[in-house]
């Protein structure tokens, strides 16, 4: 890995400024998992509208007169993340269709574990009302108890499970 990444303190500082700007302008923090949730909800409604309008998880998004779930702050923010990430990759010559995994793992296995990890994150983020960006990072910035508790639960668990998952990365 000899690509040039930004000095992490500088990157952290810039990320902090983006987060500060977000809170200052909009009064809320950044996030990610909520966008995935809204996309799922909108998709389910497209495919099975009556189910979406009656089942408990989805129904609150389809009250009469409500906007499409896709018209949500996080959905637009996440589109921005796609664009911003792409521009950064373009600028730093990191655009490449590739699979990244530990040295002992074949790409296909990596894809499977990535999918499982994503599924766990998707479900867990619903329970915790946020992921590392929304609950942990933004939560820490506004000094919410939920932010710190969620962050410690995520990283604490990661460390506990690290030994079991070592073949994925080492």
Partner 1 sequence: MGPFVPDLISDQLNLVVALLLGIGFGFVLEQAGFSSSRRLAGVFYGYDFTVVRVFFTAAVTAMSGIALFGYFGWLDVKAIFINPMWVQPAIVGGIIMGVGFIVGGYCPGTSICAAAIGKIDAMFFVLGGVAGVFGFAELYPNFMNFFDSTALGSIRVYDSLGISQGAFALILIVVAVGMFYATTLIEKKVNKTAAPSLSFPVKSHFIAGSFAILLALVLFLLPDRETRLIAKATQQSTIDQSARIVPPDELAFWILDRETNFQIIDLRLEENFKALALPNSRNLKLGDLLGKESRDAFASKYLRKVLVADTENEERIALSLMKDLGYENLSLLEGGLPSFQQTILEHSSTGLDGSRWDADVVRFRTEARADILKQIETAKQAPAAPVKKAKAVKGGC
What stretch of H or E contains 58? Answer: helix 56-59
Cα separations (Å) of 24 from 60, 80, 149, 167?
29, 18, 24, 43
Q: Which is nearer to partner 1, 25 or 64 (CB)?
A: 25
Residue in 16, 54, 104, 106 binding partner 1, rule: CB under 8 A: 16
Cα–Cα distance for residue pair 113/119, rounded to 1 Å: 10
Give yes or no for residue 53 binding partner 1 (CB under 8 A).
no
Phi-psi region of 72 (alpha: psi -120 to 50; beta: other; left: phi over 0): beta
58 makes contact with partner 1 (CB under 8 A)? yes
- Does 62 help bind partner 1 (rule: CB under 8 A)? no
| Residue among 79, 104, 106, 167 that touches partner 1 (CB under 8 A) | 79
For partner 1, which is the closer residue by CB, 64 or 67?
Answer: 67
| Cα–Cα dist 38/34, whole Å | 6
Binding mask 93-132 for partner 1 (x = CB under 8 A): -xxxxxxxxx----x--xxxxxxxxxxxxxxxxxxxxxxx
Residues 149-168 that bind partner 1 (CB under 8 A): 149-162, 165-166, 168
Single out the residue of 56, 60, 63, 65 in contact with partner 1 (rule: CB under 8 A). Answer: 56
Longest dimension (CA), the chain: 54
């Amino acid at each position: 890995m000899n690509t040039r990444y930004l000095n992490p303190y500088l990157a952290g500082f810039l990320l902090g400024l983006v987060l500060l700007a977000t809170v200052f302008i909009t009064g809320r923090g950044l996030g990610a998992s909520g966008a995935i949730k809204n996309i799922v909800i909108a998709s389910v409604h497209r495919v099975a509208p009556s189910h979406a309008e009656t089942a408990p998880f989805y129904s609150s998004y389809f009250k009469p007169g409500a906007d499409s779930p896709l018209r949500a702050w996080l959905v637009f923010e996440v589109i921005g993340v796609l664009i911003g990430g792409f521009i950064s990759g373009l600028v730093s010559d990191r655009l490449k269709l590739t699979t990244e995994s530990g040295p002992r793992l074949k790409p296909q296995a990596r894809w499977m574990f990535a999918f499982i990890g994503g599924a766990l994150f998707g479900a867990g983020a619903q329970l915790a009302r946020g992921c590392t960006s929304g609950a942990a990072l933004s939560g820490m910035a506004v000094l919410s108890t939920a932010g710190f508790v969620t962050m410690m639960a995520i990283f604490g668990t990661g460390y506990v499970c690290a030994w079991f998952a070592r073949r994925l990365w080492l």
